[in-house]
Amino acid sequence: MAKKIAVFASGNGSNFQVIAEQFPVEFVFSDKREAYVLERAKNLDVKSYAFELKEFDSKAAYEQAILDLLTAHQIDLICLAGYMKIVGPDLLAAYEGRIINIHPAYLPEFPGANGIKDAWEAGVDQSGVTIHWVDSGIDTGQIIKQVRVPRLADDTIESFEARIHEQEYKLYPDVLESLGAERKK
């Protein structure tokens, strides 16, 4: 049976767009009502939901609302793609082993919110992209697949970042396929 995918994103949503162009996506969820990913969803005719933590009494209530959406849509796999919130214990307990994340560095190198900038500032001669299962840590879950991205002699941080994103756009579809997601016909 085809896997039902939801994508979670907080901002730009370029990874969401790549995924949604190649795979059926049930919905995108954003924790930011102004996120550009919601515009992309509209253009791609993908259902979207957005609500913010501050609109709820607690993170538990917030995650319960997300869980309700996941259950209503019978989601099998959550793809985090630039989702800037930590997945809390309730959501994790319900979906552990069914949540993946993309990180713009070669984990365990440079975990955290600024993987590209941190690698650049450390002066590495290569960084990478990682897709991993999500656990309760920050970018600590089991690695599914990763690729190296070199830093070239004439790179600026912008060209380095662009090359990392290019690899992200290949790796996410590859991994989804390897996990049994069916491409759009």
68 or 148, CB closer to ligand GRF?
148
Q: How far apart are CA 151 and CA 78, in angstroms?
A: 31
| C-alpha triplet 58, 64, 88: angle, nearest 5° | 65
Residues in binding site for (6R)-10-formyltetrahydrofolate: 59, 84-87, 101
Beta carbon of residue 25, minimum distance to ligand GRF (angstroms, whole number): 13
Q: How far apart are CA 68 and CA 123, in angstroms?
A: 44
Q: How far apart are CA 89 and CA 92, in angstroms?
A: 5
Q: How far apart are CA 109 and CA 127, in angstroms?
A: 8
Q: How far apart are CA 45 and CA 76, in angstroms?
A: 20
Which two three-digit tokens encode residue 33?
């009502």
Which two three-digit tokens encode residue 153?
């002699």
Q: How far apart are CA 144 and CA 175, in angstroms?
A: 8
Beta carbon of residue 1, minimum distance to ligand GRF (angstroms, whole number): 27
104 or 173, CB closer to ligand GRF?
104
64 or 135, CB closer to ligand GRF?
135
**Does the active-site annotation cover 132?**
no
Beta carbon of residue 19, minimum distance to ligand GRF (angstroms, whole number): 9
When CB distances to ligand GRF are compared, the closest residue is 82
Would you tell me which residues interact with ligand GRF (CB under 6 A)? Answer: 9, 11-16, 81-82, 102-104, 168
Place of tokens 């840590």: 137
Residues in binding site: 13-15, 59, 84-87, 101
14 or 58, CB closer to ligand GRF?
14
Beta carbon of residue 23, minimum distance to ligand GRF (angstroms, whole number): 15
Which of the residues 73, 103, 132, 165 is marked catalytic? 103
Residues carrying an active site annotation: 103
